[in-house]
Amino acid sequence: MLSTVARARLTIVLVGARNPSNIGAAARAMQDFGFSDLRIVNDFAAPFEAAQLEAKSAVAAQHVMQSARRYDTLAAAIADCTLILATTAIGERQLKQPILPLQQAAPLILAALSSRRIQPSPSAKDPGAPGPDPRTWAGDNLSGSPTEAKIALLFGSEKTGLTNDQLSHATLLTTIPMYAPEDARHLSMNLGQSVAVCLYELTRSGFESSVEIPPLHEAPATAEDRERLTQLLLDVLHATGYTRRFPANASEPLVRQLVQQLGTSHREAMTWMGVLRQILWRERSDTNI
């Protein structure tokens, strides 16, 4: 389970994002998964300021946007980070760094956030590339005690993604596996969706302060419930003529076995009895006309 302290060490860095709605969507994804440190790298402030004013795409995440910071350069935005992961789509770009699918990169990020030592697996794209030592990522010392160092996850602009120069700042590259149609020229995902997918992968084993699904406590159906349902179903089969036309399918033992599957809880049994009573009432009313 990812702790609140660990989540506070992850910073999401949007590099060159131009659409305020996409920035807001990224903020909302951060709020939904319990992250709050958002940094925007842009050489002009208009998209960032518009995103702070725009509330539609950042529903319930205004505090993330209000506390977000803008930087003129990527180097300044990640200056306090020890591990920098950059997201990229696998296209025609020449990759000169190890790249891992998100499913393989996520455990490395989690280890760094918790300052645990873990050996990264070889890159699927470059099996011979040496893996970085996660101890340097997390700012881990020889005793293994955690530090307050930040871990950065970089996302590029909506149109071009991260440039080669921006990717060179990263310790490791990661990508979200996507379906590739035969005629696809370049695979990409919406910025807000990309942030949401990455954060979900980091938190799908659970995290502190998450909303728990309330357990459903239902009284099981009793033998009396099932017997009443059995007799009512037999009455319906008889009233509709089914017993006469298909006697082999309407024997009491067979109907009783079918009822075992209908009402596993008291509520379900009562619902089925209500339905059958309505059918029986309608059948008898039509017969008396």
The span from the CA of 112 to the CA of 135, in Å, is 8
| Of the candidates 195, 186, 167, the residue with the CA atom closest to the CA atom of residue 92 | 186
CATH of range 4-203; options 3.30.70.260, 1.10.8.60, 3.40.1280.10, 1.10.10.10? 3.40.1280.10
The span from the CA of 195 to the CA of 26, in Å, is 6
pLDDT digit string (tens) for 210-238? Answer: 766 666 678 899 999 999 999 999 999 99
Helix (H, G, I), strand (E, B) or coil at 242: helix
The span from the CA of 210 to the CA of 204, in Å, is 11
pLDDT for 127: 39
Residues of the chain with pLDDT under 70: 54-58, 90-96, 116-148, 184-186, 209, 211-216, 288-289
How is the chain split into domains, by residue range? 4-203, 223-288
